[in-house]
């Protein structure tokens, strides 16, 4: 076994690898960028090495610096985690050339599966079913459009490199093919440096079911059952589970056998995942699944497999990479219970799942686990850490395990309702709504479920009078009064002729709320809300609501939803420099494409520019008719709130019309 390994990653996966390594007596070396100088994974590791500036291209994607750090610290092997360089065969070659061990598959195996088109041709030869489509080398638009017509609409354009839904477009009609292809190519080029695509038949009711496989250098390959990853938004996974709901013995046998066959075809060693697309329009059938792609690394959702098998996949990675055989045979790997993983992100679900940044002023996960369940939290952040615009905005993965799907789903809902995060917009409310959705609860899941139910799943009820009263009470500072039997407390609300009233101004979004808070001698507080609420709430000092106070804000938690109220400083002056008639960036990003010009008259809904954030493209459209006075330049790097478009003689805009492709 290794004495020391370097982890070429960050965040929750780096922390996850460090924990297993520590349990096995293996020392760990972390690497970090400027943005991660004080990150949790740096604190947890035995050693840490700075490798560059905040952008990933200047740090976590610098294989030369990572290898130099491994050599300088005496690490014997490099664990890539997932993302960044984890599926880069050139990096694997460089690691091997430096006489280090790559904790993962060979460069040859990664190359064999790294390009979707070549991988599908290989799988066809191995007898693994593949989705009908065009997987050839030619990339002329005329040829691709012709192939799309042959396949039959709707079709799916997919980047042949990478994953995560980047460079992917569903096309319903031939007239839309050209624009969709251009968008897919731009996004693929930005994300993977390769703009080549393939075109496939779009399955009407697709299920995304994948099989975890594991191989060693002795030719042994086993599967660790399947995971269902059909709950997706923008082709990216949201909640994963195992076993797949509705899975039949016949389909499981066919899929796992195909997965093992695929791994053996490329002499695979290490952890990997074979992803299949399943047509669920007529139920799960053994002849209605097709190979989609292989991820030649550990998956983000691997903890659900660990929960139902009791196997530490990171431990297996270290053992296999150090030259050991697989610790168990296929007959020794059992499936027990049901597990879910929910990905908690800094994102605004109500605004098309836009990435959100911010400081996590309050971060509290449920403890202990819901009754009858086991739970684990995988995170790379602590309270006070910031969600950086440079990397994926994942905050944590919440994983629960129960005796069956119903018990596990109940535990997931309870755990989400007890999670408290303030300082950034997060998706916990959306996740809880999805877990409670009737179709999801029944196991009637496909990759289109979220988009069909998106309005209901992302809708947030306005705060109740009780919630507003709790925020006003917290903002007033009244709850700072002592809660013990202090004899002076009886005088807290005393005034000679009338009770002391404190007038509070709160802002919920753009709405201003006025509340009057008074302290009564009986240790209760009275909060009266002005119109349109016109309600009075009395609160006992000893029955505090779930809330968090942070600079200039109060967040009140109701279930999985955090209602954020701004508390304006009454002495603060309005920003006199605020631009009038301006359209601002809703998030940090890169102006990828400008579709309008200065002096041009535009109409409501007209696309003005494309903003790239987190390697995804977002189309920003005109919120109303107007004349453009100024517009951002292509290639401009902007921050949240940067003026993108300024309209001539128009009132200031407070909202951005935005759609995500």
- d(C-alpha 17, C-alpha 6), whole Å: 10
Note the pLDDT of residue 620: 85
- Which of 512 and 659 is assigned the larger pLDDT? 512
- d(C-alpha 596, C-alpha 619), whole Å: 12
Q: What is the pLDDT of residues 212-228, one digit of tens each?
A: 999 999 999 999 999 99
Mean local confidence (pLDDT), 377-382: 96
Q: What is the pLDDT of residues 101-136, one digit of tens each?
A: 999 999 999 999 988 778 888 998 888 998 888 888
Model confidence at 553: pLDDT above 50: yes
Model confidence at 495: pLDDT above 70: no
Model confidence at 314: pLDDT above 50: yes
Instruction: Calculate helix-pair angle for 141-151, 177-192, nearest 10 degrees.
Output: 110
Q: Phi-psi region for residue 81, left (φ > 0), alpha (ψ -120 to 50) or beta?
A: left
Both tokens assigned to 74: 């005496």
Q: Quick check: 338 and 422 in contact, CB under 8 A?
A: no
Burial of residue 187 (number of CB atoms within 10 Å: 0-12, 13-18, 19+): buried
Note the pLDDT of residue 491: 39
Q: Which residue has the tokens 């609860």?
A: 441
Q: Quick check: 320 and 214 in contact, CB under 8 A?
A: yes
Note the pLDDT of residue 616: 64
From 198-207, 399-408, 421-430, the region with the lowest mean pLDDT:
198-207
Model confidence at 487: pLDDT above 50: no
Model confidence at 71: pLDDT above 50: yes
Percent of the chain whose pLDDT exceeds 70: 89
Q: What is the pLDDT of residues 286-299, one digit of tens each?
A: 988 999 899 999 99
The model's pTM is 0.81
* Catalytic positions: 297
- Which DSSP letter does residue 561 get? E
Q: What is the pLDDT of residues 650-661, one digit of tens each?
A: 444 444 444 444
Model confidence at 578: pLDDT above 90: no
Q: Which residue has the tokens 């097709």?
A: 290
Q: Residue 607: pLDDT band by 50, 70, 90 thresholds?
A: confident
- Helix, strand, coil shares, percent, the chain, to 5: 30, 30, 40
Closest CA to 14 of 47, 36, 42, 49: 42
Both tokens assigned to 494: 């005393």
- Which of 234 and 364 is assigned the larger pLDDT? 364
Strands 561-566 and 626-631: unpaired
Note the pLDDT of residue 654: 40
């Amino acid at each position: 076994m290794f004495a020391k390994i370097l982890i070429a990653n960050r965040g929750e996966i780096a922390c996850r690898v460090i924990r297993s390594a520590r349990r096995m007596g293996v020392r760990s070396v972390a690497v970090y960028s400027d943005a991660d100088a004080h990150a949790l994974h740096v604190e947890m590791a035995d050693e840490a090495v700075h490798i560059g500036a905040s952008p990933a291209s200047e740090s976590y994607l610098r294989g030369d610096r990572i290898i130099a750090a491994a050599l300088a610290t005496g690490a014997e092997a490099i664990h890539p985690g997932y993302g960044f360089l984890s599926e880069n065969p050139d990096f694997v070659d460089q690691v091997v050339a430096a006489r280090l061990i790559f904790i993962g598959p060979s460069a040859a195996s990664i190359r064999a599966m790294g390009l979707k088109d070549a991988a599908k041709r290989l799988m066809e030869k191995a007898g693994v079913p593949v989705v009908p489509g065009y997987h050839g080398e030619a990339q002329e638009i005329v040829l691709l459009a012709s192939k799309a017509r042959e396949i039959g609409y709707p079709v799916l354009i997919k980047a042949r490199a990478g994953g995560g839904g980047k460079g992917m477009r569903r096309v319903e009609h031939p007239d839309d093919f050209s624009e969709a292809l251009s968008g897919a190519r731009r996004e693929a080029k930005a994300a993977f440096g390769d703009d080549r695509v393939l075109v496939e038949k779009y399955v009407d009711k697709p299920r995304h079911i994948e099989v975890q496989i594991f191989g060693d250098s002795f030719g042994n390959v086993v599967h660790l059952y399947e995971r269902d990853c059909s709950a997706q938004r923008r082709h990216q996974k949201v909640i994963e589970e195992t076993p797949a709901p509705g899975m039949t013995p016949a389909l499981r046998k066919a899929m796992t056998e195909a997965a093992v066959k695929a791994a053996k075809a490329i002499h695979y060693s290490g952890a990997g995942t074979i992803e299949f697309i399943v047509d669920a329009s007529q139920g799960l059938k053994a002849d209605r699944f097709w190979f989609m792609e292989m991820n030649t690394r550990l998956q983000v959702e691997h903890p659900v497999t660990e929960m139902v098998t009791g196997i530490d996949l990171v431990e297996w990675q270290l053992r296999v990479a150090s030259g050991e055989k697989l610790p168990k045979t296929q007959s020794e790997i059992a499936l027990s219970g049901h597990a879910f993983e929910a990905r908690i992100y800094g994102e605004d679900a109500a605004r098309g799942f836009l990435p959100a940044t911010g400081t996590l002023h309050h971060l509290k996960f449920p403890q202990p686990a819901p009754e009858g369940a086991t739970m684990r939290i995988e995170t790379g952040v602590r309270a006070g850490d910031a969600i950086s615009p440079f990397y994926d905005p994942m905050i944590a993965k919440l994983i629960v395990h129960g005796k069956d799907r119903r018990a596990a789903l109940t535990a997931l809902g309870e755990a989400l309702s007890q999670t408290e995060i303030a300082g950034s917009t997060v998706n916990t409310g959306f996740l809880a709504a999805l877990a409670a959705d009737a179709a999801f609860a029944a196991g009637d899941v496909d990759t289109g479920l979220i988009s069909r139910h998106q309005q209901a799943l992302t809708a947030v009820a306005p705060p109740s009078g009780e919630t507003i009263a709790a925020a006003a009470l917290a903002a007033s500072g009244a709850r700072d009064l002592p809660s013990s039997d202090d004899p002076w407390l009886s005088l807290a609300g005393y005034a000679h002729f009338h009770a002391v009233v404190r007038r509070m101004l709160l802002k919920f979004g753009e709405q201003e709320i006025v509340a009057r808070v008074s302290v009564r001698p009986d240790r209760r507080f009275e909060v009266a809300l002005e119109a349109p609420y016109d309600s009075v709430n009395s609160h006992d000092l000893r029955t505090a609501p779930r809330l968090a106070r942070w600079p200039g804000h109060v967040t009140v938690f109701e279930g999985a939803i955090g209602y954020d109220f701004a508390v304006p400083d009454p002495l603060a002056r309005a920003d006199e420099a605020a631009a009038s008639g301006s359209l601002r960036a809703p998030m940090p990003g890169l102006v990828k494409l400008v579709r309008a010009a200065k002096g041009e008259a535009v109409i409501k809904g007209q696309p003005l520019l494309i903003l790239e954030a987190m390697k995804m493209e977002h189309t920003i459209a005109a919120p109303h008719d107007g004349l453009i006075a100024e517009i951002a330049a292509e290639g401009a790097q902007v921050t949240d709130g940067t003026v993108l478009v300024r309209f001539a003689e128009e009132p200031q805009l407070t909202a951005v019309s935005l759609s995500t492709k």
